[in-house]
Structure 1
Amino acid sequence: MDLDSVKDAFDRVAKKQKLTASKTQDLVDQVGKEIEQAILKIQGDAGCSDHAIVLTELNNKLKEMAPVNQLEAYYKEINVLLVKYIKLLEKTFNPDISKAYRNVDFDTHIINEIIAAHFYRQGLFDLGDCFVNESNESQAASLKSQFQEMYSILDAMKSSKSLESAINWATKNSEQLSQDGSILELKLHRLQFIEILKREGSRDAALKYARRYLARFASVHKIEIQKLMACLLWAGRLDQSPYSNLISTAHWDNLSKEFTLQFCSRLGQSCENPLSVVIDAGVQALPTLLKMAMVMASKKHEWDNLKQLPVPVELRREFQFHSVFVCPVLREQGSDENPPMLIPCGHVLSKQSIVKLSKSGTRMFKCPYCPAEAAVSQCRQIHF
């Protein structure tokens, strides 16, 4: 999809609109000025009972200016550009996305669970309950209480700057967090320590908090704890200290994101909403699929029965969740029926490539990338 041409057309319309608005305002101001001058003449000539001459002069000037004709000319020009822009949009963005639709047997039960889970993950609990009741998918409500807890903690962090519930959760899951290499618990205690220090005359309270909750992190995170202890010297005036970055509001946002990530991980869920990810990926892939469908339709070919797309679909890096192997010989993506195979020389080919090179396994074959030879029995399947 050529978005550059769409952007250029939009820029032309926007530029013309600004110019037309400026010309229109100038014309209105000019008409207003003529009318004001005529009014002043009438008001200044109090002894004259017949003001027809002034009004006639005003009428002649307005006819000469022809403001209506000028406005029509201005807006005719911008209308021409708008019509061209709309046609370009219709040509570039095909509204009939059904052409890229492929008939697939869906499990309604699974789809309903995904939609219900989507609502609960977004914190739309009333909407999720309504959907569960209407679809009769009672099992889909199992995630509700878990995400209610998460949103309750996040709401406390964002609205009232309270970390107590988040710290309690992190303490409860301390062992699992440590196994995952997460220092969420330390970050929560650090932020709580900083919040105490921001108050006037809070040095003793902050020191007491550090002894109770931060001391156990000193052996592993010595430098971090030393930095926090140095902050005690700046109690009540951290904004003037060398550690002023610790009071940045960005720490709250970052901690909220990390808490969400760890909470979802404990539930065995992705931090990103699966349904949103699928839709975003589909939006990116849609132009390629539409173009492919149109090309295949023009050649009277159906793509519903294809096991693999004949063209690559490029997605952004955030949609790459696992490695994909493409055979360098056949240029085909690996699958369960055609897995990647490791040759003794270290190169990797697909199983079908090795079968073809070895004449169905009846003889030794030469690696296409080095002089080494191997037998099919020496090749091993690998997993990414």
Structure 2
Amino acid sequence: MELGSIRDAFDRVTKKQKLCSSKTQEVIDQVGQEIEQALAKLQAVHDPSSIHDLKSILTELNGKLKEVGPLNQLEGSQKELNVGLSKYVKSLEKFFNPDISKAYRNVDFDTQTINQIIACHFYRQGLFDLGDCFMNEAKAPEVSLKSPFIEMYQILEAMRSRNLEPAIKWAATHRDHIVQNGSILELKLHRLQFVEILQNGSRGDALNYARTHLSPFACVHLAEIQKLMACLLWAGRLNSSPYAEFLSPTHWEKLAEELTQQFCSLLGQSYESPLAVVIEAGVQGLPTLLKLANVMAAKKQEWLAMKQLPVPLDLGRDFQFHSIFVCPVSRDQGSEENPPMLMPCGHVLCKLSIVKLSKSSTRTFKCPYCPLDATVAQCRQLYF
């Protein structure tokens, strides 16, 4: 069953659910209307001690509710919805194989290293209590990255409170590393602080701040400084000036993200959690691995013992962290033993493919993609 069939089944169930909900609301409105009418009649009775009048009104209400028959009206639509849900669940179970153990490959991992990775994931998410609890239960030593991430979240928390001093201090302390990464984080922080002072303080305070903290950047970022100086003319009404974009909340969000990136870079860590990346990649590749496992099982072959997957596993550009080469002839991925080789015509094949095509180190062979001839000696190894 294709994914389109699952989508169609979902749409059918959704339609039945909407019809059932609409019918239920209609019945509720009918019952509510009858009850309101009965209450109005009860309140209009002149002699509350007249039991006969009260009983007759309630008897009349009971009869009308029976005529409405709320349970009978809802039974049919609810039954159709239940049948649709039951069929949809069966379709999901048939399409999605819940037994993911078929894609599992037994690898001996260092338990302590795995625990460190999991705890580090919690710490970099700011879940310090959860990380400590996990490490205590795992009886593992403290993660060395805990303290730096605590400092990072203290800075981010201060930024959320519109306090930029901790961030500015950190950026100044690690200025060389930040500049080496090609970032102007420190200037952006000072710019944001300047705008805050100008918006909430006075023109004089903002000018003094600019002279102290922005002037060192003027030689390289003169155009940016000039814009900030023009903002002085709009003190107190910057939101109606040509420079109103400086007040956008997105500046705070982007700066927090950039500071996190630079902080992780200083620690030698990636911006994204390695554990989260691995899990996301595994989820995306799982359908292909399960299908491969079923195909190999049908052929009575064991894919877990293979050093390389026999099928491509395309996870998208977000998961490409380094350059790779796959030989267009053999479909083998380039390696140290089988590196990519550039032929005189400009096409690239793996070394083993070239050796097989030539059948000899001195014999010429024809490129499989163009009519030009080449020899093994004419091919040059490529380095990625």
Q: TM-score, normalised by structure 2?
A: 0.90
Question: Which residue does the alignment assign to 1:15?
Answer: 15
> CA 1:58/1:168 → structure 2, altered by over 3 Å: closer, same or farther?
closer
Q: Distance in 2 between matches of 1:57 and 1:131?
A: 65
Instruction: Tell me what 2:113 maps to.
Output: 110
**Matches of 2:283 and 2:144 in 1, distance apart?**
30
CA distance in 1: counterparts of 2:157 and 2:62, whole angstroms: 67
Distance 1:39 1:132 in 2: 63
Query: Aligned residue pairs: how many?
Result: 381
**CA deviations over 1:70-117 (Å, ceiling 9, x no partner):** 221121011111111111221222221111111122222321221222
Partner of 1:234: 234
Partner-residue secondary structure (3-state), 2:197: helix
Partner Cα separation in structure 1 for residue 71 and residue 137 of structure 2: 58
Secondary structure of the residue aligned to 1:349 is strand
Match of 1:317?
317
- Give 1:25 deviation, angstroms: 2.3
Q: Which residue number corresponds to residue 328 of structure 1?
A: 328
Cα distance, 1:35 vs structure 2: 5.2
Superposed, 1:237-276 pairs within 5 Å as: 237-276=237-276
Distance 1:101 1:38, change over 3 A: same
Matched residue type, 1:146: P
The 8 Å contact of residues 358 and 376 in structure 2, kept in 1 or not, is answered as yes
Q: Work out the CA distance in 2 between the residues paired with 1:53 and 1:142.
A: 80
Q: CA deviation at 1:37?
A: 5.1
- One-letter amino acid matched to 1:17: Q
Paired residues of 2:30 and 2:68 also in contact (CA < 8 A) = no
The match for 1:153 is 155
Deviates more, 1:171-180 or 1:181-190: 171-180
Secondary structure in 1 matching 2:129 = helix
Q: 1:143 to 1:58 in 2, by over 3 A?
A: closer
**Distance in 1 of aligned mates of 2:179 and 2:60:** 89
CA contact (8 A) 2:19 2:77 kept: no
Structure 2 Cα separation of the partners of residues 3 and 20 of structure 1 = 26
CA–CA separation in structure 1 for the residues paired with 2:382 and 2:338: 11
Greater mean alpha carbon deviation, residues 40-49 or residues 263-272: 40-49
What TM-score comes out, normalization by structure 1 length?
0.90
Q: Partners of 2:157 and 2:289 in 1: how far apart?
A: 41
Whole-Å separation in 2 of the counterparts to 1:128 and 1:61:
62
Separation (CA, whole Å) in 2 of partners of 1:58 and 1:82: 36
Give matches, 1:276-287, under 5 Å.
276-287=276-287
| Between 191-200 and 331-340, the greater mean CA deviation after superposition | 331-340
1:62, distance to aligned residue in structure 2 (A): 4.8
**1:142 lines up with 2:144 in the alignment:** yes
CA contact (8 A) 1:285 1:313 kept: yes
Give the conservation status (yes or no) of the 8 Å contact 2:45–2:53: no
Distance in 2, matches of 1:318 and 1:367, equals 33
The verdict on how the C-alpha distance between 1:304 and 1:41 changes in structure 2, with shifts beyond 3 A counting, is same
| Map of 1:306 onto structure 2 | 306
Equivalent residues in 2 for 1:294-373, closer than 5 Å: 294-373=294-373
Partners of 1:266 and 1:359 lie apart in 2 by: 51
Identical amino acids, percent of aligned pairs: 67
Does structure 1 residue 76 correspond to structure 2 residue 106? Answer: no
Matched, 1:191 2:192: yes
Which residue number in structure 1 is paired with residue 380 of structure 2?
380
Q: Cα 1:44–1:298, aligned 2, differ >3 Å: closer, same or farther?
A: same
* Distance change >3 Å, CA 307–CA 61, structure 1 → 2: same
Give SS of 1:142's match: coil
**Residue pair 1:197, 1:206 contacting (<8 A) in 2 also:** yes
CA distance 1:100–1:211, shift in 2 (3 Å)? same
Q: Structure 2: where are the runs of 5+ without partners?
A: none
SS at match of 1:198: helix
Note the C-alpha offset of 1:145: 1.3
Which runs of no fewer than 5 residues in structure 1 stay unpaired? none
Moved more, 305-314 or 273-282: 305-314
Q: Deviations over 1:235-265 (max 9, x none)?
A: 1211111000001111000000000111111
Q: What is residue 122 of structure 1 aligned with on the other side?
A: 125
- For residues 186-233 of structure 1, what are the alpha-carbon distances to aligned partners after superposition, in whole Å with 9 as ceiling and x for unaligned? 111111111111024x11111111111111111111111110110011
| 1:348 Cα deviation after fit | 1.0
Change (3 A) 1:65 1:181: closer
Query: Counterpart of 1:74 in structure 2: which amino acid?
Result: S
Partners of 2:119 and 2:134 within 8 A in 1: yes
1:109 partner letter: Q
2:171 match: 170
Q: Distance in 2 between matches of 1:149 and 1:35?
A: 63
Range that drifts further, 250-259 or 24-33? 24-33
Give the AA of the match of 1:285. Answer: G
Distance 1:55 1:219, change over 3 A: closer
Does the C-alpha gap of structure 1 residues 365 and 128 become closer, same or farther in structure 2, counting only changes over 3 Å? Answer: same
CA distance in 2, matches of 1:86, 1:381: 54
CA RMSD of aligned residues (A): 2.5
Measured after TM superposition, the shift of residue 64 of structure 1 is 4.7
Further displaced range: 146-155 or 14-23: 14-23
Contact 1:129/1:141 (CA < 8 Å) preserved in 2? Answer: no
